[in-house]
Structure formats: C-alpha cells, structure tokens
Amino acid sequence: MSEQPSDTPESDEEWRERLTDEEYRVLREQGTERPHTGEHLDRTDDGTYVCAGCGAELFDSDTKYDSHCGWPSFYDVPTENVETRQDTSHGMVRTEVVCANCGGHLGHVFDDGPEPTGKRYCINSVSLDFEDE
C-alpha cells in the first residue's frame, strides 16, 4: 500500500470544490464527526480505506477492529502513508493522524489498542473512502 494520487488540490478553493462541507470541516479544519455516525464504523468488508481528500491508500481492512469508541479504529497503518503531529487543541495533548500525501486530518492515535501494536488509530469515517478488494 504505497500508491499516491497525483491530482491533489493545491488551493483552498480547489479543496472546497472537491469536498463536501463535512469532509472539508474534518479534513481541512481538523474537525471531528459525531461518534457512532460514520458510514465506515460497522463496515466489515475486505478492502482498503483511502483518504477521502486525495485517494491515498491509508488502512487495510485486516487491521480494523471494534474499539467501541464510536469511530472506525485500526491497530496498524503503513507509516509511509500517514504522519503524526502533536495536537494541543481543546486543552488536551494528543497525537493527530494526517494523510502524508495531502495533509488531511484523519483522527488521532492512542496507546490503548490491541496487540501486536498496542495502537488505536481512531479515524473519522468522513476522512475515508473505501475500495473493495
């Protein structure tokens, strides 16, 4: 999983044209969708989750699990496809997960996930598209 799209928007205007209002709010303004509302929360199909902003491959369905947190959760991610940043918003210190290709906000990663990584990538459904295998 390392395919990167080449048609990533360069301006805010292009992003606004490409994304829905909710996708823009989450991906470009670091928003969060309401818990238990995302279309991918209960998805169990085999496939690949890609960035809704640029199409970069992000998560394999084999690493998805039910963390009962209200958002899709994954225990592993190819490091070349995502980056992490310190997030100090809302009076908290968290680790933000962003798309390495377009910088879109995906969610956060926590150290309370299952083995083998112990990680919980807690990701907004609206930040993802799904491609069947």
CATH numbers and ranges of domains, the chain: 12-132 (2.170.150.20)
pLDDT the model gives residue 2: 44
Among residues 38, 4, 29, which one has the least CA distance to residue 122? 38
Is residue 122 part of the annotated active site? The answer reads: yes
pLDDT the model gives residue 5: 53
pLDDT the model gives residue 95: 96
Backbone angle region of 47, left / alpha / beta, with phi > 0 → left and psi within -120 to 50 → alpha: left
Amino acid at 92: M
Active-site position among 54, 99, 102, 122:
122
- Residue owning tokens 């990663």: 109
pLDDT the model gives residue 38: 96
pTM for the structure as a whole:
0.91
Spell out, as residue ranges, where the chain has pLDDT lower than 70.
Answer: 1-6
Beta carbons of 24 and 16 less than 8 angstroms apart: yes
Amino acid at 73: S
pLDDT the model gives residue 8: 85
